[in-house]
């Protein structure tokens, strides 16, 4: 038997207890929970085969009562004696995609981001579309290209057409960008034909991750009318490996900004589901932006209510992301197209400057949130390196 | 032992041999092949447990050589003696969703449809966007709401705003519509970072189905800028139960219409993948439209090449649909918003008239294609009844 030492300033203390899928050297992927700098193998520690699965989906599908009960069991484990073969150093394990992604929907819930993008993509029109303050605008993304932090991102190729070109050409994206977002994962499914109210959010949503929704702005700008982004986004979306349970975010719950006009009744609830989460974007090890999730106009509870109001089913493993998080200040913008104003205002990255991503660049996005008693919990980070294009000769 | 009688005029003759997932009374779903008015239980007839699965995915993932070899085995079975317990009447079995849908992408590949919709949705602009003839425009739809023919469709609720309203209201869609399409199903996956050329189409695509991409036009018109359709489409997409193998469509292969300007090299191929498929749309038993797939501007091989040119993986079970098929004539339009010109020109449906769908209406879309020797093969039909809205009080 052993005990787990939790450093006093750890972002993975007992208030957090996030779930992930890990493999020790030579072992198969299985479900673990992060405590301090340790990972507890839950199948071994709790003797339940649902944690021997290579994704969290089977456990997430068991529902909220079960999530509460397992969280209580883990709290006891982490403060007492635990079998030595159930504990690994977090440095020694490989992390995997924690969920089998069912549907992936990406929203557009930051007023600052939507306004900035509107100005950049449609300079001759009002930046916010008339629908934007009436519904959380979102679109479906590609589930099969959601990857875990640490997976290299190959620069995508596609059709590019700058305003001075008569016709598009083909080649590697020259405006490869990030979008710093939070993502929410459905555990308890709904039935087709039903809808989930904003106040039923916590019955359905298991937890949250940090998301980097990679975006090839040149491909996107040419392709996206009238049916929305496709190839400019579908090559990859990265998520952090540790799923922070919604149960760990009680102290982070705040009101959203005032919503004016008042949303339609199906988007209203009594529960607060704004979230006081602070993100930090590191470019080659240098923090270039600190997007504040607290500023997001639409709450994740409203996003899920909207997604299901037409009777669409929510499935275990559904991932929905907030869209880029941008605050009102320049150094709070969560996408480089905003931070560099369409590439016209390069930013300092250490001793260098950047507009969009170069091959070899490394992006890490991390997030933290308040916990009980003034301490903080961490989401860890979503990190990836850009590799050169491979399809440039097609 | 028994033998299978194939009626002389059957659309399910030996040239077709489509796969589906069926259950006999009291039995579990399993893989079958349709021959005449019979269904062969392949797990029993071929003694291979891959056909005991409740979807085609495991078989589809085995690749093209295997698809050819099983097709040859089935041809022999269907013309010889076959164990009696491997044969069911097609009337006696229940059909299920034949695939576990991975990613679902819907294209917009009919020039007539895109032009008509552009005129209706954006009357003050050029109907075709500048990108339309350079790339097959498409977007990701909701995989979890793809349902098999025969599943009732509940009228969706959502935000509606007509031009004379200052603000949106909430309620059941008043402009519920169909889109008659063909869908293509990926069997052999690609690797992330790779792309599939148009001439590699038949190595990856297993077969085709008829698709009805239900569309709530009032919800769609209000929500779709700038990120594309979401709630107006995500409530349901219906597919026909029998997957016609690409191997059965050799006689249907034709050139696409002339593509001018010439597409970029990654969208060019030597193989012909236009398809001479005739569809028929029945509204409450009356044929109201006969959309010709032969008119589609972009081929399905170009759609798949475009989907993967940015390195996005194609997965076993991916479904990609053509978008509404509309020919140049009014009675060839595959969506009612076109057929009734935005609801302004009602159509006769038997003794009644219609603009959009009413509760209780039944839509059946069928398709046939030429086979060798002047005969034809059938896709069967995708059929559903509209049920009243259930979320109208939210």
Q: Does residue B13 lie within any of the structural domains?
A: no
| Euclidean distance between the first and the last CA atom of chain A, given in angstroms as a whole number | 58
pLDDT at A175 (0 to 100) = 98
ipTM at complex level: 0.97
pLDDT at position A254 is 98
B157 plus B180 within the same structural domain:
yes
Cβ(A144)–Cβ(A97) below 8 Å: no
- CATH for B75: 2.30.30.230
- pLDDT of A392 > 90? The answer is no
Of B42, B75, B96, which closes a domain? B96
The answer to whether residue B1 sits within a structural domain is no
Read off the pLDDT of residues A38-96 as tens digits, 9 standing for 90 and up.
999 999 999 999 999 999 999 999 999 999 999 999 999 999 999 999 999 999 999 99
Same domain flag for A304 and A287 = yes
Q: What is the per-residue pLDDT for B211?
A: 99
Residue A216's pLDDT band (boundaries 50, 70, 90)?
very high
Contacts of B229 in chain A (CB under 8 A): 227-228
| Residue B272 in contact with partner chain A when CB distance is under 8 A | no
Residue A305: partners with Cβ closer than 8 Å, 6 or more residues away: A195, A196, A197, A198, A201, A266, A267, A269
Do A235 and B310 make contact, defined as CB atoms within 8 angstroms? yes
Domain co-membership, B175 together with B41: no
**Are residues B45 and B152 located together in one domain of the fold?**
no
Residue B10 lies in a domain: no
Q: Nearest-CA distance from B158 to chain A in Å?
A: 6
Q: Which of residues 8-37 of A touch B (CB under 8 A)?
A: none
Query: CB burial class (10 A; 0-12, 13-18, 19+) of residue B214?
Result: buried
| Same structural domain, B52 and B165 | no
β-strands A347-349, A352-354 pairing: antiparallel
Cα torsion through A62, A63, A64, A68, rounded to 10: 0
Query: Residue B3: inside a domain, yes or no?
Result: no
- Decide if A248 contacts A227 (C-beta within 8 A): no
A196 and A64 in a single domain? The answer is: no
Say whether both B253 and B361 belong to one domain. yes
Domain for residue B394, yes or no?
no
Q: Are residues A225 and A261 in the same domain?
A: yes
Kindly report the CATH number assigned to the domain that includes residue A310: 3.90.850.10
CB of B265 less than 8 A from some CB of A:
yes
Looking at the fold, whether B27 and B147 belong to one and the same domain comes out as no
Range of the domain at B57: 19-96
* pLDDT at residue A250, rounded to an integer: 98
pLDDT confidence of residue B331: 97
Q: How far apart are CA B94 and CA B78, in angstroms?
A: 21
Instruction: Tell me what percent of the residues of chain B surpass a pLDDT of 90.
Output: 96
Into how many domains does chain A fold?
2
pLDDT, one tens digit per residue, over A282-292 is: 999 999 999 99
Q: How far apart are CA A181 and CA A239, in angstroms?
A: 9
The answer to whether the Cβ–Cβ distance between B143 and A318 falls below 8 Å is: no
The residue of chain B nearest to residue A387, with distances taken between CA atoms, is B193
Do the domain assignments include residue A89?
yes
Q: Are residues A261 and A378 in the same domain?
A: yes
Of B206, B260, B266, nearest to B59 (Cα)? B206
Q: Residue A143: list chain B partners with CB under 8 A.
A: 102-103, 143
Low-confidence ranges of chain B (pLDDT < 70): none
CA-based nearest distance B273→chain A, Å:
19
pLDDT digits (tens, 9 = 90+) for B58-76: 999 999 999 999 999 999 9
A212 and A333 within one domain: yes
Chosen domain end from A49, A65, A96: A96
pLDDT tens sequence across A144-191: 999 999 999 999 999 999 889 999 999 999 999 999 999 999 999 999
A373 pLDDT tier (thresholds 50, 70, 90): confident
Domain closes at, from A62, A96, A130: A96
Closest-CA residue of B relative to A127 is B226
Same domain, B109 and B91: no
- Tens of pLDDT, residue by residue over A302-354, are 999 999 999 999 999 999 999 999 999 999 999 999 999 999 999 999 999 99
Domain presence at residue B392: no
pLDDT tens-digit series, residues A222-255? 999 999 999 999 999 999 999 999 999 999 999 9
Which ranges constitute the DSSP H helices of chain A? 42-46, 57-60, 64-78, 111-121, 201-204, 217-223, 231-234, 300-308, 336-339
Q: Is residue B6 part of a domain?
A: no
pLDDT at B121: 85
């Amino acid at each position: 038997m052993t005990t787990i030492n939790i450093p006093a300033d750890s972002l993975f203390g007992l208030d957090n207890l996030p779930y992930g899928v890990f493999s020790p050297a030579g072992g198969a992927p299985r479900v673990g929970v992060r405590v301090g700098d340790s990972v507890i193998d839950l199948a071994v520690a709790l003797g339940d085969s649902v944690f021997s699965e290579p994704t969290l989906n089977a456990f997430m599908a068991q529902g909220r009562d079960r999530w509460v009960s397992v969280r209580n069991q883990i709290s006891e484990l982490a403060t007492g004696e635990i079998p030595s073969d159930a504990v690994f150093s977090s440095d020694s394990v490989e992390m995997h995609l924690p969920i089998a992604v069912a549907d992936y929907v990406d929203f557009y819930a930051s007023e600052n981001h939507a306004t900035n993008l509107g100005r950049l993509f449609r300079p001759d029109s009002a930046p916010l579309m008339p629908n934007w303050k009436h519904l959380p605008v979102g679109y479906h993304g590609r589930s099969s290209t959601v990857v875990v932090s640490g997976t290299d991102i190959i620069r995508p190729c596609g059709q590019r057409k700058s305003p001075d070109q008569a016709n598009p050409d083909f080649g590697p994206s020259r405006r490869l960008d990030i979008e710093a977002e939070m993502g929410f994962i459905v555990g308890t499914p709904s039935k087709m034909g039903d809808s989930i109210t904003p106040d039923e959010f916590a019955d359905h949503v298991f937890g949250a991750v940090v998301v980097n929704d990679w975006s090839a702005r040149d491909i996107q700008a040419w392709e996206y009318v009238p049916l929305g982004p496709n190839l400019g986004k579908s090559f990859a979306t990265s998520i952090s490996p540790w799923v922070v349970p919604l149960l760990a975010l009680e102290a982070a719950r705040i009101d959203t900004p005032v919503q004016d006009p008042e949303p339609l009744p199906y988007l209203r609830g009594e529960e607060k589901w704004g979230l006081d989460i602070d993100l930090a974007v590191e470019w080659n090890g240098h923090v270039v932006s600190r997007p504040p999730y607290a500023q997001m106009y639409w709450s994740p509870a409203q996003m899920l209510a909207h997604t299901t109001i037409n009777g669409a089913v929510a499935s275990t493993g559904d991932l929905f992301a907030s869209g880029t998080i941008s605050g009102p200040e320049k150094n709070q913008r969560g996408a480089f197209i905003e931070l560099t104003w369409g590439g016209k205002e390069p930013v300092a990255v250490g001793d260098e400057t950047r507009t969009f991503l170069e091959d070899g660049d490394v992006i890490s996005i991390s997030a933290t949130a308040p916990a009980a008693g003034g301490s903080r919990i961490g989401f860890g980070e979503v990190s990836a390196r850009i590799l050169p294009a491979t399809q440039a000769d097609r």
